[in-house]
Every structure is written in structure tokens, then in C-alpha cells.
A and B are shown apart, each in its own frame.
Chain A
Amino acid sequence: MHKQGYGDFKYFVGISSLAQIATREDRVCVLNILGGESSEVTPVGHAWSGGNVVFGTSPGRSGQTLDTPAGPIPVYNSVREGLDDGHRFNCGVVYLPPGAARDGVAELIRVNPELTKIFIITEKISVHDAREIRAMAQQAGVDVFGANCLGVADSWNQVRIGGALGGDNPGDTLKRGSIAILSNSGGFTTTIAQYLRMAGWGTTTLVSSGKDVYIHYAAPEFAFALANDSRSKAAVLYAEPGGYYELDADFTKPVVACVVGRWKAKLTRAVGHAGAMAGGDDDAEAKERWFMEKFGVEGLYTPDNPVFSARGAVVTNIAHIPAALTAVMRANATLPDFEPEGSMDLKPWFGSNMGVALPEAIDLPVVDAIEPYRGQIRGLDRQLGTVFPRQSLKDASGASQMDPKTQVSSLHGVSMLQAAQKPLEANLGLALLREPAGANDQALIDVAIAAHVNLHGSAMLVAAEAAREAGNAPNAVLAAAVGIVGPRLLAPAQRFANGLVDALAAAGVRDATDEAFAVERIELGTDLTTDMLGDAPDPLATAMIRGVEARRARSLPLRWLLAQGGYPRADAVLAAIATTIGWGPLGRKRISRLSIQTLPSWLRLMATMLGASVAASAHEADTFCGIGRDTLIAECTLTEIAATALLGRRASADDLFAFRTLTGLLLTNGPGAISAQGAKGAVSADGPETPARVQLNKALLGFLSHTGFAHGGNGFEGVAFLLEQFADAELADPADPAHGLDLPAMAQRFATAYRAEKQRSKETGAPLRNIPCVNHPVFKDKPVNTDPRERFVREQLAARGQYNVFHDFYLALVQALHDEGVTRNVFCVNVDALIATLLLKLTWKSLRAGEIGTAELENAAFTAFLYGRMIGCAAEIDDHMNRGRNMDTRTPQSQVRFVA
């Protein structure tokens, strides 16, 4: 059931010479051209091969293109559509997933009568599909290469088809010569070509055969085509156990066969190559024997015992291939194609003993790599910080994630439960430095924020107050202020930070808090240094410097700045603080240069938002919320400032603990949260691939506009519910366990009333109100349910001996609802309840004293959310700026819908 081809085979073979496998005349269609692998590999091959791909397919993406250095390749829904558009091709390349590969082959064969060759890159195609692929191709007279291969290449024709032979720079490996390669391993096809080149041998045609159970283009037909290829003087074969392909090959030219896999006889199932499992007498030793018989040799070729004949040699180590080939070819009176290009000796490109003494024999010194790698390594040594690869960050983040099982989100690997135990200043470090800030960094952050939180006399404060008076919610108020802190205001500190980073790197600073480092070694350009200094003392700068000193915080850049004489500007001090904080993470490659450069801006923006959340009346020339400027800058932590801003009074230690727990839990809810989406969308729209154009304050507007009373203000629903329940309660102090209230009875009363309400709603069909802060889509269905986040915080508070009557009431409530038959099991008290109960506890006294009303309370609930989430969203913005692509949050037209 096959067409008659070339040679005396039991099956169809349509290739008579290796020179026909990959030619400049071949025209290629790539199935699933926009898939992950193809979209990286096809452009390189296309450009190197003079533009041999005429089109590709990707169902649903017709009209798109795949950009390549040789111009865009059009994409169609199907092969037929491409042909109808006038394209013609003879080679099909299959990059489809394993379950679709067979159908792709059928499409190519049935639709295109001009098809002669198929190259299947797909791995893990079932044996079932492989035999059907073969049968279809045999009937149609089409040669198939693969599957599970890396395609073919021809060094003479400078063509590669399907796959990635030669890697991302094929010319580096594929040099014209006289040796053909057939390899079961795609990786080794290139590696062997590289080894040969170093020994002076170039290549003709390289075939990566794959090593599935069915190898469609294998040793027998390769040997036949080798004989007819005048360019190829010899061949290298790399073979693994399994199958009788090599036994049936009849070689008429010299061959070096490398057989690897003796150990695989021990295996009971395949690892890597599916077909590399010997069934019986087709194991590695058998294959070595087959080749030895073909070559008329008695043993394996090794450098110590070079056994070979003019017909060939057998090796079991690919490193021995070049020497064996040279020996065999010498016996054929043939010299290498060109001068050897290098040796294969051990040459470490990187190395360190890390202080351990190694014996001389293994203490290999680092050597210069070959070009172009040497230049790249030098560049790497000069590079500061990490560089993140760019990718689409739609619905993805390198900053936050949510564990779907526990529903606990994390920011840079720190779970919100852990973050809730840290102060805000540590978490701000976590967001922007990708690791929680240590004590020294926290002190510096506190100074920077405290210095910029007072907006007295600024346009930001005027705008915020106008927004507040117009009845805006807290997010819009903050937006009005932060919208003014544009790039021009932020530029000087960024420029200073940039200069400091260069200077610290040039001076070889490893630790930016090193007290012993001589500041004279740090050199900045005169212009920049001059710009960092003013003509007269800058009160803000002076206060910041005093603050750093008062807190005994260490900063080498600040020490350098002070050593310059003159009067440092506030922006220069801010830049010095930021570079100190960022230097460690930068050196540890945790953050990029871009991140440290924007760090001063972030400190300023965070302070502005914090400041704008407080009414203008609290901003005075020398005080903020009644705290004197010097005290604020020299003593207050970010947590204290934020708690004061929220509560309108200095918070107690217990209040601070509750406050940081509350804000810590709110940092992030993963990249799917609306607030994160807003922030990321704003970065995406500016174009993160040109980071200088991303406006940080505008990105924060994206975050702020994507919060609201439903997302951010929902803690208030719980507060309102609790107010209703405690309306008549004689409660002076919610922190006092001896409150005298009968919580189970209160809960029972509500549950009874609610059950009646539920009954009525059933009868009338009227909607039933929800009880806020109970139940959860994940933590349900057990007899007694618990939200692990709620339990964690409850235990934390209990360990500190802190009591919260509202929390206690919620626990009684879920039990009462079950006892009353309202719920089928005991619902969990969810994480929103924490926000409500903590907040109400913090504000209860002011509320009862009539100092604030429910409207203020609702604003406070929303503001508390914004405090936590603005830090998390700063992390998202920084991450998206570092990793994202322009407009990557856009939803493709195919995935949006119209609703009538």
C-alpha cells in the first residue's frame, strides 16, 4: 500500500540524495506557526534559509503574521486558505500538539497535491497516530522526518526546515564541509556538528531523526541517499538502543557510528526518547556489534585504543567522534575540510571555590570564552541587577499570586499571612525590592515617607481637598493628588539615583551601608554633583539628614553626599536613601536597574497618597496630624504615620498591631484582582518596553480607578452589619473580654430573625439580604468550616492576648445560623470579617463618642484597603514595567463578545 519510490525498500522513499533533503527551492508551510516553540524557532530558520516559509496556519488567527528578520510570514486558519490565497509549498512542518499532529499530517497530504516532505517536530505522538501518519504518507508518496525531531538542515544550501538545528544562530555551527549527520538526538545533531567543526570538519546535510518508536526517515534510507550525495564524503551516525533501523542500513561511504545507551538495558521504561527501549537483541551492545561487523573492526574506538578501518569506527562517547572521523578519513587519504577551530578541553567560563581549597587537579582556572560569548560575559559583569525577560503579562504577574487551594495570596513569595506580621515599612520594601526591608532599610523608608507625607502648601493638597469637598470617595481623592506628581517632579531624584548607582558600581561598593568604605572612592560627574547641592540649606533635606542620624541608620551614599560640602537638596537625600535601600537587592539580582532608579519616585508617591488621605486641616507648615515635623521624620514609622492618618489620633501598640495585620492582609489578592488589573493595564497602555515612558503616577491612577465601594469598600458592609447588631449594646471597650454581653444570645436572636426573613422571602420571592463576611466559595462543605486566613489572624491576636468582641460575635453567629437551621453546616467567618472587626474595634470609641459618623467609618474602611493595596499595586506596576510587553493586557477580538 505504498507508492514506488527510490531504492529497493519495503516502503516508499522519495529522496535519492541527501542534497535533496533541504534545498533552497523548498517552500515550507508551518502548522501551528504561532505556537510557543515555532514562534521562536521559525523566524530564525526562515531568515537563515533565505525566506523559505511561505505561510503558516493557526486556526482563528487568519490575517495575523509572524514577524521575522526576513519579513513577516502570513498566517491563515488552514492550509486550504493559504493555498487559495495563491501560496504554493512542497514541505509541511508540524508543530501541533501531540493529539493534533496526525490530523495536521492528513490536512497537508489531502489538501496539497504538491507535498513531498513532512517534518514533524511534535513530541509524545502516540504510536497509534504514528502508524496512521506513516500509512497516509506512504500511500501519498510523501517522505516524513521525525517525529519528535528537530528537523533538517543543509550547511551547503544554508537551509533549515522544521525545528531548530544550529540553535538561534545556525551559522555558528553549520559550516560547509563534507560530513553528513544522522542523529537520534536533536540536541546532539547540533552538538556533533559543533564538535566536528572544532576538529576541522564541516557538514553537508544534518538530519535529526527523532527517536520515537516509528522513525520515519531512518538509517537505511539515509545510507542510500548518502551514497548518492557527491558532496558528502562520510557520515556520522548517533544511535540509541531500540529498533533495527541501523541493522538494515547499507553504507557505501565511511561512517563513524556513536552508540550510546548500554545502561538502558537496565531500564524498564523509556526515559526521554520513547523509542529508546530495546525489545530484545536491539540493545546498545547489539548495535555496537552491528556497526563493528559493517566496518570490519574488532572493538570500539577510544583515544587509548583507536580501533578503526577505512569503512568506519564505532564510538560510545560523542567527544570521540571527531578523532575517530579524522582517523577513518586518513585511512581514506582524506584530510579535514579546514583547519581545526578549537579544542574540546575543559574550559570553565565561570567558576569560584568560594573560599574552599580544591586539589590542584580539579581546581580549574576560569578561562576566556570563545567569541561572541567572551564579550557577552564582559557585558554581564558590567550589568547591574537582573534583567527580566519580557512576556505578555495579561492576567499574569511576576509579583503576586494566589494559591488556589488555600486562597492565600503572596507577594514576591511572601504570603499575606506572613506579611500581616510585618510592619508596613517592611512590606513596602517587599513590594519594591522583592524582599522585606530589614531594620536599617525600614528606618530609611520611614524617613523618606515621613519627609514627604506633609503636603502643606502643595498643589496636591489643594487638589485632594477639592476632590474631597466635591464628595468623592477616598480613591478619587488620592487620585487627584497623585495625578499631579508627574514625571517632571520625579525626574531629579531619579536622575540622582541613576548617577549614584553608576558611581557606587564603579567604586566597587558591595555594601551600601558599609561604614568603613572611604567615600573619596566614589566619584560622580561634577555636573551631577553640583545639581545635587543647593545654594542655601534646604529645610526638608536637613530634616531628613537629621532623621537618618537620629535613627542611627547607615547610608554610604548619604555619607558621600554630606562629604561634598554645600547644601544637599531634598531630592538628592531621597536618591541617596533609595540607592542605599536598593543596593543589596540590586547586587543580589533581585531587582533591575530600572527598579532602583524609580525607587525615589515610589517613596514620594506613596507618601503623597498617604498624605492626601488626610484632610487638609491636618497638614500644617510644621506639623502633620498634630505631630511636629522633626518628630515625624526622626521617630515615626510608616506604620505609625499611616495608622495616625487613618484614625486621626496616635495609635496604641495594640492598635498598631491590629492596623498592620489589617493592611498586611490587604496587600494583594493576586494579578486577577480588579485593582491589580487596573494598575497593570495603565502600565501596559504606556508601553513597558520603553520604560521611560511609563508614568508611575498614572499607573497608580489606574489602580485607584479600579477600586471602589464594591472592591475595596466591602469591609464596610461587615462594619454596617456589626453596627446594626451592636446598636443597642452597652459596649465601652471592644477589646475588653469582660464586656458583659451575651454574644451567643445576640447571635441566636439574629439567626432566628434571619430564618423568618428567609422563610418570608421564599414565600414572596423577594430577594434575601446576604450576611456579609460569612461563607466562602472554597472553604465550605465541611461540617465546620474555617477560613485559614481568619484562623491565622485569630490565633495571632490571641497569642498577644488581644481580644475583639466583634470577631467573637461573628464566630458565635456562624454557629447560631447552623443551630437555627439557616445554614446546612457551620459556615466559615471569612477574611472580610477580619477587616470589618479590626476596623470597627479601632474606631469604636470615636464612633460612640460622636467624633466620627458612619460616613467617615465607611471612608476609613475604604482608606484602610487603599493603604494596603497601594503597596501591593506598586509591586505590580514595577513588575509589569520590568517584564511586560506593550499593550499586553489587551483582550484579543476573538475572545470578546457582544451582548444584546
Chain B
Amino acid sequence: MNLTGMLHGARLLDFVGFPAAEVLGPGASEDQIRQMIERHGSVFVKPVFKGGVGKKGKSGLIGRASDLKHALAEKERLYFVEHRHGNQVAKANGVTFEAAVPAEHEIYFSLSVSTHFRAPTMTLTHKGGMDIEEVDEAHIARIPFDALTGLKAFVVANALTDIGAPPEIISPLVQQLPKLWELYHDFGMTALELNPIRMRPDRRGKLTPVACDFKCGFDRDDARWHRLNLPDHLFTADTSDFEQEINQLRTHQGQSDVYVINERGTILAPTFGGGANSLVTEMLGDDAIISSDFGGNPPYEKMKSVAAICFKHWLAQSNVLFVIGGKSNNTDIFETFRAMADALREHFSKHGPSPLFVVIGRGGPNLVRGMGVFRDTCEALGLPYRIFGFDSAMSEVIDYARRINDWMKAGGRDEIAARLGAAPALAA
């Protein structure tokens, strides 16, 4: 849940009265662009990506133009540009025109959580305008502060003094930067980064910090960001229909976190517990369709809905339904297994049989009753199965699911399909 760029950033900064560079959105008219260039000498043209994508500048994705013709040419180049950074691939949809702010000083400022200090921490340098990793540590202040009192002016003043910041920038930053705490704290952010903040001189030479780029991350467990009334589509970039459907069931009782690993995978693995999720996803690799954590003792109705959605989207292509978790502490195995088994039964009733091998590994309260329900369901549906207790190493069970998957790919699926009278198609 990240947001980058000044298109929305400027509006957010305006909430707390922090000066920001003038910005025009994708719908700006030629007149507006021309007038902006006239006022500021030049404009930056930046592609608009959903979510957070970094290193745009380094990838040549920031254009600068000092006349309308060039500005429009940059608009054409960047409007639908594709950007790859790490594992993320993003496609732009629009550009912004941002007023150039001539300045001698560029500041880097961020607020985030430091696990080192275990407190909210400000990172500040007067050598900004570049990646923070490239700045000499001697010029960087990382200062934790009290969450209850927030970022205070003296914290900023001391930090700037400690890193030897030029005296003329200290006062304006001390006045303006603490405002950003309100934005960070009151609107559910986990991180806020302004880089650069340019120190714009007025006619008398007095400096004003002007934010020229904006990045922030929102905490999806914090409803405060809803106060900003940001359009929903900003955060839908990296969620599939399936994930969105599951996410609608997100409540505090019972996890319902999913991530699509491989849309063409063949093992559907509803997983219980954050630890199991890590191990399972790591070991299954691309065989897994989804990475999930459905632990936290979900009630029957929720578990059944989650399972039904999983089955609706993925069962047809699955070779193995792999239900896996460690020895649960409080997740009721009977309730969760009954819910999944009922969802499976109903899915078969509605969509007809699907060739499937069921592998289960689990421990926890009401274990045998839960396993019994799944066994009965498999028997009723004609599905082969193996159910392991917690005395089989989880990694061995995961490996077994993989071996079953290999066998299914090598003809097992067709055999089961023939017995069920189902079409073997769809799976890899």
C-alpha cells in the first residue's frame, strides 16, 4: 500500500501545510503546461505508477522540459512507459508536470520505524537529491523520538546541528519538518519519504523548503488513511481478483492473507500459520499457486468462504489440494477442516468432480475429528488422500505433496479423472 509521486503527494502535504512543488495531472491542458513553464522556467515530466515504484530517475523515466513542445514529447514518451525495478514491473498510466524549483540545497527527509531503536525514527540529511544509500553516513542523522510526543522542533534542530547542516537551512526546516509527523502519525503511514526537499529562496533570500517528490507507505491495518479519501484504484495495482475477493474477508479473527505465486501452479496449498506459510511457499516454489496464511482460528463460516473462493479460482487447475500447518495452538482443526471439506463438497456439487489428490499435514485441538471429516469427504468424493499428523516432519510432508504433484503431472491426473468421470484438462 504505497503511494509515490506528487500528483497525490502534493495534496497530502497540503493537509498539514507543508509547501510542495506545483503539480499538474495527466489531464493538464497545453495552456496550463505553458503557463507553468513560464512561471517556473522548466517542468519535470514524470510517469504516474500505481503503488510504489522506486528508482525512476535512474531509469531515465523523469523528463525535464523548458518549452511546451518538449514537455508534450516527454508526455508521449512516458505516458504508458513500463518500468522494472527488482521484482516489480509497473506500467504507467499518465504523467504529471511538476514545477522545477531552483535551489542550492536539497534535503532528504524520512520518517519510518527503526527496529534498531524500536521507535519512530527520522532520517535527515542536507545532502539529499540522491539515494540515501549513496550519502556519506557522516552527513546522515537517524534520530529516534518519542511516539507519544512526536517529532519536535528541537529534535530536528539537534539533528541538523549534529550533521553540520548549513545554518541558513536550519530555521526553515525546524519550522516545517515537524508538520510531517502529523501526516505520518494521523493518517496511518508506516513510512514517509520526501526526497528532495528543495530550499527555495524568496526575494529576500529567505529559504522555504518545498517538497519535490513524495513517497509513503500506508498500514493496511490502520483505518486512519481512509480519512484521506484516496481513490481505491491507487492500491489495486498488485492485487488480483482472487486476492481482492479474499481480502474482503479480512477481519481480526483469523488470517486471510493470500498472494498469488504462480497463476499456472498446480498445488493449491491452504496454509495455516505464518511460519508454515514461509516454509511451504519456499519449498513448493513455482508448483504453488498461492502463498497463504489462514491461521488464527478462523470461525467455520469464514474458513468456508475462504476455501470456497480458493476452490472457485484454482481447483480446476490443481493436481494437489495440500492443507498444511504445524501443531496449532488454538486453531480448531475440526472447525477449519469441516469448513474446507464442506466447501470442497459443495464445489464438486456445483462444478462437477475435478481430478485431485488430497494431502494434509496438521496438528492441534480436535485433530482426529477434523481429519475424520476430511477423510469422509475424500471418500465420498472419490479422491485419493494421505493425511499426516504432526509427528511427520512438515518439510517431509511438503516434499511428499510435491512428489504426488509430479506423479499427477506424469499421468496420475488422467487416471484419477478417468475414475471420477471428470475431464482431466486444465492442469499443467
Chain A residues at the B interface, C-beta cutoff of 8 Å? 1, 10-11, 36-37, 40-41, 97-99, 122-129, 131-132, 134-136, 139, 150, 163-168, 173, 183-191, 194-195, 198, 211, 213-216, 218, 238, 240, 242-245, 248, 260-274, 276, 280, 282, 316-320, 342, 344-359, 361-362, 364, 369-370, 373, 376-377, 380, 383, 386-387, 389, 413, 588-589
Q: Is the CB of B278 within 8 A of A163?
A: no
Q: Enumerate the 7 nearest inter-chain pairs by beta-carbon distance, A residue then B residue, closest first.
A: A185-B275, A272-B293, A187-B273, A126-B222, A191-B326, A164-B329, A188-B275
Q: In the assembled complex, how far is the CB of residue B304 from the closest CB belonging to chain A, in whole angstroms?
A: 12
Q: In the assembled complex, how far is the CB of residue A863 from the closest CB belonging to chain B, in whole angstroms?
A: 34
Q: Is the CB of B329 within 8 A of A272?
A: no
Partner pick for A350 among B148, B387, B403, CB 8 A cutoff: B387
Interface residues on B, range: 35 or more
Can you identify 17 A-B contacts, CB atoms within 8 angstroms? A10-B144, A135-B119, A135-B147, A165-B329, A168-B364, A183-B275, A184-B275, A185-B275, A194-B391, A213-B115, A238-B275, A248-B116, A316-B282, A344-B392, A350-B387, A354-B416, A380-B368
SS class, residues of chain B in contact with chain A: mixed
Q: Which residue of A lies closest to B222 (CB)?
A: A126
Residues of B within 8 A of A261 (CB): 278, 282
Partner pick for A123 among B252, B363, B368, CB 8 A cutoff: B252
Q: Is the CB of B387 within 8 A of A128?
A: no
Q: In the assembled complex, how far is the CB of residue A396 from the closest CB belonging to chain B, in whole angstroms?
A: 10
Chain B 357-396: CB-based contact to A (< 8 A → 1; otherwise 0): 0000001110111011111101110111111111111111
Residues of A within 8 A of B259 (CB): 267, 269, 271
Q: Which residue of B lies closest to A391 (CB)?
A: B300
Partner pick for A352 among B87, B278, B379, CB 8 A cutoff: B379
Q: Is the CB of A274 within 8 A of B390?
A: no
Chain B residues at the A interface, C-beta cutoff of 8 Å? 1, 51, 87-88, 113, 115-120, 133, 144, 146-149, 185, 188, 190, 219, 221-224, 238, 252-253, 255, 257-259, 272-279, 281-283, 285, 291-293, 295-297, 299, 325-330, 332, 334-335, 346, 363-365, 367-369, 371-376, 378-380, 382-397, 400, 403-404, 407, 412, 415-416, 419
Q: Is the CB of A272 within 8 A of B274?
A: yes
Residues of B within 8 A of A280 (CB): 133
Cα A700 to Cα B417 in complex, Å, equals 47
Q: In the assembled complex, how far is the CB of residue A182 from the closest CB belonging to chain B, in whole angstroms?
A: 13
Q: Is the CB of A347 within 8 A of B392?
A: yes
Partner pick for A191 among B219, B275, B387, B388, CB 8 A cutoff: B275
Q: In the assembled complex, how far is the CB of residue A553 from the closest CB belonging to chain B, in whole angstroms?
A: 24
Residues of B within 8 A of A184 (CB): 274-275
Cα A900 to Cα B384 in complex, Å, equals 65
Q: In the assembled complex, how far is the CB of residue A208 from the closest CB belonging to chain B, in whole angstroms?
A: 8
Q: In the assembled complex, how far is the CB of residue B45 from the closest CB belonging to chain A, in whole angstroms?
A: 26
Q: A10-B117, A272-B293, A373-B389 are in contact. Are A346 and B87 (CB under 8 A)?
A: no
Residues of A within 8 A of B297 (CB): 36-37, 40
Residues of B within 8 A of A273 (CB): 274, 293
Residues of B within 8 A of A194 (CB): 327, 363, 390-391
Cα A318 to Cα B390 in complex, Å, equals 13
Q: Is the CB of B219 within 8 A of A167?
A: no
Partner pick for A318 among B146, B368, B394, CB 8 A cutoff: B394
Cα A195 to Cα B327 in complex, Å, equals 10
Q: A127-B222, A190-B329, A344-B391 are in contact. Are A352 and B274 (CB under 8 A)?
A: no
Q: Is the CB of B221 within 8 A of A124?
A: yes
Q: Is the CB of A271 within 8 A of B257?
A: yes
Q: In the assembled complex, how far is the CB of residue B112 from the closest CB belonging to chain A, in whole angstroms?
A: 8
Cα A413 to Cα B238 in complex, Å, equals 35
Residues of B within 8 A of A352 (CB): 375, 378-379, 384-385
Q: Is the CB of A245 within 8 A of B115?
A: yes
Q: Is the CB of A271 within 8 A of B87?
A: no
Q: Which residue of B lies closest to A267 (CB)?
A: B259
Q: In the assembled complex, how far is the CB of residue B394 from the closest CB belonging to chain A, in whole angstroms?
A: 6
Q: Which residue of A lies closest to B251 (CB)?
A: A124
Cα A165 to Cα B364 in complex, Å, equals 11
Q: Which residue of B lies closest to A168 (CB)?
A: B365
Q: In the assembled complex, how far is the CB of residue A438 from the closest CB belonging to chain B, in whole angstroms?
A: 15
Residues of A within 8 A of B120 (CB): 131
Q: In the assembled complex, how far is the CB of residue B323 from the closest CB belonging to chain A, in whole angstroms?
A: 12
Cα A342 to Cα B392 in complex, Å, equals 10
Cα A261 to Cα B297 in complex, Å, equals 23
Partner pick for B329 among A10, A98, A187, A361, CB 8 A cutoff: A187
Cα A187 to Cα B373 in complex, Å, equals 22
Cα A11 to Cα B400 in complex, Å, equals 46
